[in-house]
């Protein structure tokens, strides 16, 4: 019952600015098994992890400018795990020859009162979906192959409808700002997945209409 | 003797039966008497180690009549200890059982400064036999929501940190929902600065020393705002128990031994719960008490408050 001496004062910000490097692509359902087979060969030697997640996207409309977007994600296969709150910044407009999309990323683990807390802060849920699929790892790189499903009745994750006949493939790395060699490593890994899937840099701001 | 054939109470032959508040079969010595208000009668229990019989303990040699136990509601039999992670993200603390019973404000003694009053409390604790175990810090930052519709009161978001759980922080709305998050929540609040402004002048800190006395953890802190001392806080935890109703009497008597007449009533945060005093307590209750204290001290004008 001896409490350890307190030597660490509370951490109050000042953490390293983390950036997400991202490449995306998709495969038709029929090609999924071939892709998983190739990823099992290329990635770290472990059984790929399957997941079923429920993601809610919240918007906070300010007096001016674009709304502030936060993504809250929870695991449906591990209901007692904490929620994962993620902020993604605008893509960096820099070197056009950079191979991957680079944007600021803040990840926060949160307790189960997160949705009520966000509502009290003024956030309103814009949309929600269920994602299920596989996760692979190769070093610092994470490859997620997922099927997205629309939720038909708000809050009911049992009643879903597939959004498309394909799987979303995302190759991402989380690294401190300034490590541009990451995008080179990602590009050479993406080359090994061709022609099964073409992973490329897709700017989300250009997708809006 | 308790017959277990038809009683709804615990089986006295099971190991945990000794916690149920009644004498085991064949036991008749004073040592076998389990005081009803003491959840644990053991060498480490302050009932025995304080060298005095607390007023809440029944007289020596008496045991609660078995018949009344059979009739009493099941809750009175639940003197059980549960290992419970009070906060999700501090793995090194996940096996600590704790409840913070009381965070209270101690008035500054007549003719003495804040520091002198704190020194008097430290001396009393050391005379009692408490051992100093480092220091602690609890702080609270206030954020104003900027996007409020005119006419509505400004919403205040409090972000608090506690050195007992250095990897976590807590977001609270007074009287509203609260959330426990990891340290990156502070970084997120920086990103939200156009929607939530940090009222830097309103930051309140409570710093001081930690003392351990048997199963009690006592923290005596000086509450400061903008470098001026606003008051003194005392936090007392009875570590083996998570249910306030089971150990409030014990903790109150312990506090009287060094605080004298300044002992507060049961914190309102426990009484306000739907299950009342018998709901398990957690870190949120602790921080809610600190927030109430900080808000109270923020509104007070303390004369001579520039003395640290």
User: Which SS3 state, helix, strand or coil, does residue B172 take?
Assistant: strand
Under the banding of pLDDT at 50, 70 and 90, the label for residue B41 is: very low
ipTM value > 0.90:
no
Q: What is the pLDDT of residue B102?
A: 59
Could you tell me the pLDDT band of residue B46, with boundaries at 50, 70 and 90?
A: very low
All residues at 6 or more sequence positions from B116 whose CB lies less than 8 Å from its CB, including other chains: B109
Rounded Cα distance, A55 and A114, in Å: 12
Please name every residue paired with A138 in a beta bridge, in sequence order, or none if there are none.
Answer: A141
Please state, in angstroms and rounded to a whole number, the distance separating the CA atoms of residues B63 and B24: 10
Which residues have CB under 8 Å from B24's CB, separation 6+? B12, B17, B18, B32
Question: What Cα–Cα distance (Å) separates residue B16 from each residue in B63, B98, B215, B249?
Answer: 17, 20, 20, 23
Q: What token pair was written down for A144?
A: 């997620």
Rounded to a whole number, what is the distance in angstroms from the first to the last CA of chain B?
59
The secondary structure of residue B97, as a DSSP letter, is: -
Contact (Cβ atoms closer than 8 angstroms) between residue A139 and residue A172: no
Residue B23 has pLDDT above 50, yes or no: no
> Tell me, what DSSP letter sits at residue B151?
T
- Residue B82's pLDDT is 29
More confident of the two residues A27 and B72 = A27
CB contact under 8 A, A117 and B139: no
Q: Could B166 and A117 be called an inter-chain contact, meaning their C-beta atoms sit closer than 8 Å?
A: no
As a whole number of angstroms, the distance between CA B58 and CA B44 comes to 19
- pLDDT value at B73 more than 70: no
Checking if the pLDDT of B15 tops 50, the result is no
What is the per-residue pLDDT across A89-139, written as a single tens digit (0 to 9) for each?
Answer: 988 876 666 788 889 999 999 999 999 999 999 999 999 999 999 999 999
Inspect the interface and report whether the beta carbons of B161 and A85 lie closer than 8 Å. no
pLDDT surpassing 50 at residue B91: no
Record the pTM: 0.73
Alpha-carbon Rg for chain B, nearest whole angstrom, is: 22
Bond preceding residue B92 cis, omega within 30 of 0 = no
Would you state the pLDDT for residue A197?
92
Chain A residues lying within 8 Å of B169, measured CB to CB: 10-11
pLDDT at B14 > cutoff 80: no
| Element at B255 (helix H, strand E) | helix B244-259
Pairs of residues, one from chain A and one from chain B, whose beta carbons lie less than 8 Å apart: 122
Tell me the per-residue pLDDT of B169-179, one tens digit each, with 9 for 90 and over.
999 998 889 99
Q: Between A1, A4, A62, which is nearest B195 by CB?
A: A62
Give, as one character, the DSSP assignment of residue B260: G
User: Is pLDDT at B50 greater than 50 in this prediction?
Assistant: no
User: Chain A partners of B194 at a C-beta cutoff of 8 Å?
Assistant: 62, 65
Q: Is the dihedral of CA A42, A45, A50, A54 positive or negative?
A: negative
Taking CB atoms and an 8 Å limit, are A11 and B136 in contact across chains? no
**What confidence score (pLDDT) does residue B263 get?**
77
Distance of CA B58 to the CA centre of its chain: 25
Which range has the top average pLDDT, A115-119, B100-104, B241-245? A115-119
* Residue pair A48/A61 in contact by the 8 Å Cβ criterion: no
Residue B294 near residue B141 (C-beta atoms within 8 A):
no
């Amino acid at each position: 019952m001896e409490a350890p001496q307190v030597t660490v004062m509370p951490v109050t910000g000042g953490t390293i600015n983390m950036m997400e490097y991202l490449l995306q692509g998709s495969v038709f359902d029929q090609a999924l098994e071939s892709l998983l087979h190739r990823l099992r060969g290329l990635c770290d030697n472990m059984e790929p992890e399957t997941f079923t997640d429920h993601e809610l996207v919240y918007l906070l409309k300010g007096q001016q400018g674009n709304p502030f977007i936060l993504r809250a994600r929870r695991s449906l296969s591990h209901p007692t795990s904490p929620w994962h709150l993620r902020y993604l910044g605008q893509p960096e407009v820099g070197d056009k020859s950079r191979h991957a999309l680079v944007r600021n990323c803040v990840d926060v683990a949160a307790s189960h009162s997160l949705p009520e807390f966000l509502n009290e802060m003024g956030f309103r849920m814009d949309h929600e979906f269920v994602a299920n699929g596989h996760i692979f790892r190769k070093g610092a790189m994470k490859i997620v192959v997922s099927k997205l499903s629309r939720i038909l009745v708000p809050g009911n994750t049992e009643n879903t409808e597939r959004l498309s006949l394909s799987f979303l493939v995302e190759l991402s790395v989380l690294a401190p700002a300034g490590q541009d060699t990451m995008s080179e490593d990602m590009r050479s890994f993406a080359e090994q997945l061709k022609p099964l899937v073409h992973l490329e840099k897709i700017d989300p701001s250009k997708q809006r209409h | 003797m308790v017959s277990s054939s038809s009683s709804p109470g615990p089986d006295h032959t099971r190991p945990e039966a000794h916690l149920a508040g009644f004498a085991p079969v064949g036991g008749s010595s004073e040592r076998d008497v389990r005081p009803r208000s003491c959840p644990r009668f053991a060498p480490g229990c302050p009932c025995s180690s304080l060298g005095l019989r607390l007023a809440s303990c029944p007289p020596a040699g008496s045991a609660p009549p078995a018949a009344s136990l059979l009739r009493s509601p099941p809750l009175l039999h639940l003197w059980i200890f549960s290992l419970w992670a009070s906060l999700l993200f501090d793995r090194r603390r996940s096996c600590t059982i704790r409840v913070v019973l009381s965070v209270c404000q101690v008035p500054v003694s007549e003719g003495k400064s804040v520091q002198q009053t704190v020194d008097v409390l430290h001396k009393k604790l050391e005379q009692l036999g408490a051992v100093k175990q480092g220091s602690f810090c609890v702080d609270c930052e206030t954020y104003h929501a900027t996007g409020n519709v005119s006419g509505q009161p400004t919403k205040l978001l409090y972000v608090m940190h506690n050195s007992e759980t250095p990897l976590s922080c807590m977001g609270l709305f007074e009287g509203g929902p609260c959330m426990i998050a990891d340290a990156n929540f502070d970084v997120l609040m920086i990103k939200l600065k156009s929607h939530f402004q940090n009222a830097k002048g309103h930051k309140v800190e409570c710093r001081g020393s930690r003392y351990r006395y048997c199963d009690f953890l006592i923290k005596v802190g000086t509450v400061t705002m903008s470098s001026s001392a606003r008051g003194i806080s005392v936090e007392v935890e009875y570590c083996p128990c998570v249910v306030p109703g089971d150990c409030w009497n014990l903790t109150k008597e312990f506090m009287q031994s060094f605080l004298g007449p300044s002992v507060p009533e049961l914190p309102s945060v426990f009484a306000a719960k739907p299950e009342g005093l018998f709901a398990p307590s957690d870190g949120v209750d602790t921080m809610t008490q600190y927030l109430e204290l900080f808000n109270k001290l923020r509104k007070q004008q303390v004369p001579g408050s520039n003395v640290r």
